[in-house]
Amino acid sequence: MVSLQDVYDDEDAGLDQASRLRTVQAALLPDGRAGTGWSAAHVARAAAGVSGDLAQCATAPDGRSLVVTVGDVMGKGVPAGLLAAHLLGALDALVRETPGVAVEGAEGAVRGRLERASAFATLFHARLRLADGALEFVDAGHGFAAIARTDGSTRRIPSADLPIGLQPRGFPRLPRHDALGPGDVLLVASDGILELPDADFETLTALARRLVDAPALDDTLRAFLDDVPAVVGDDLTVLAVRRDVDPATAAATTDPDGADR
């Protein structure tokens, strides 16, 4: 008789521990799918085989909104990766809740483990309403999100709260609001973006601006990652969401000769 141990034995399957960890972590990453009228893409590079970043982009159970998450657990490698998976799981369990409630609940679930591990995590957690682009989010010590608009303006979203594990008990998170119009882009990265050569916050906002006019988010983010050194000093994650332009709307606001009205 074949036992479950035989079926799930990684060694017999030819998988070493590091390979298995990377396989499992890959299953936790966004799949790149977004709701109708929206595009999403994601790239990442780990500094030590297993990343301490977490990322999610998925349609909420109600089918009316997109849940967008990027976080960064202090440290690198397997210890940070385990804590990142735990935090992402806690957020997944609260996927029906508003960002403020979800972040507060997830923090309560992971705070003890973070404290015992002498760690903390930064987190950007948002819901995008698919129908009109309304954005509600919490930024817990993260500060690496930006919105680029079709009018050429770009704004980085600064953090307004302390990281996960450091917020004093009894102090609620501060939900904030914005909106994405047709063609606008929400870009969220981990702080590994500042570890790139000659990088600063303009690196984040400049990439967001490029994505507004990019034919495909995937191609532009992969090209960005191709320019990143093969060995990085910190985990890097970049997640982009764009509200697609309705072709009928674009045609109605453009003259036949291509000049905007």
Q: What integer best gives the mean pLDDT of the chain?
A: 86
Q: What is the mean pLDDT of residues 49-67?
A: 92
- Give per-residue pLDDT as tens, 100-136: 999 999 999 999 999 999 999 999 999 999 999 999 9
Residue 91 has a pLDDT of: 96
- What does the pLDDT average to over 217-236? 94
For residue 166, what are the contacts with CB-CB under 8 A and spacing of at least 6? Answer: 120, 141
**Can you give the residue ranges of every domain in the chain?**
31-246
The pTM (predicted TM-score) of the whole model is 0.85
Cβ pair 151, 112 in contact under 8 A: no
How wide is the angle at C-alpha 88 spanned by C-alphas 242 and 75, nearest 5°?
100
Check pLDDT > 80 for residue 166: yes
Question: Quick one: how far is CA 260 from the chain centroid?
Answer: 34
CATH 3.10.20.30, applies to 31-246 = no
Residue 249, pLDDT > 60, answer no
The pLDDT of 75-101, averaged and rounded, is 93
Tokens of 247: 């072709």
What's residue 111's pLDDT?
A: 95
Please give the pLDDT value at position 258.
41
Structure tokens, 52: 């301490």
User: What is 111-159 written as a DSSP string?
Assistant: HHHHHHTT--EEEEEEEEETTT-EEEEEEES---EEEE-TTS-EEEE--
Nearest-angstrom CA–CA distance, 110 and 165: 8
| Cβ atoms < 10 Å from Cβ of 206 | 14
Residue with tokens 């799930």: 8
pLDDT of residue 255: 43
Q: What percent of the chain has pLDDT over 70?
A: 80
The secondary structure of 75-93 as a DSSP string is: S-HHHHHHHHHHHHHHHHH
Contacts of residue 189, defined as CB under 8 A and 6 or more positions apart, other chains included, come to 70, 144, 145, 204, 236, 237, 238, 239
pLDDT digits (tens, 9 = 90+) for 172-209: 888 999 999 999 999 999 999 999 999 999 999 999 99
Radius of gyration of the chain, Cα coordinates, nearest whole angstrom: 19
Calculate mean pLDDT across residues 87-101. Answer: 95
Distance CA 122, CA 162 (A): 8
Cα–Cα distance, 187 to 38 (Å, whole number): 13
Residue 20: pLDDT above 80? no
Q: What is the largest CA-CA distance in the chain?
A: 74
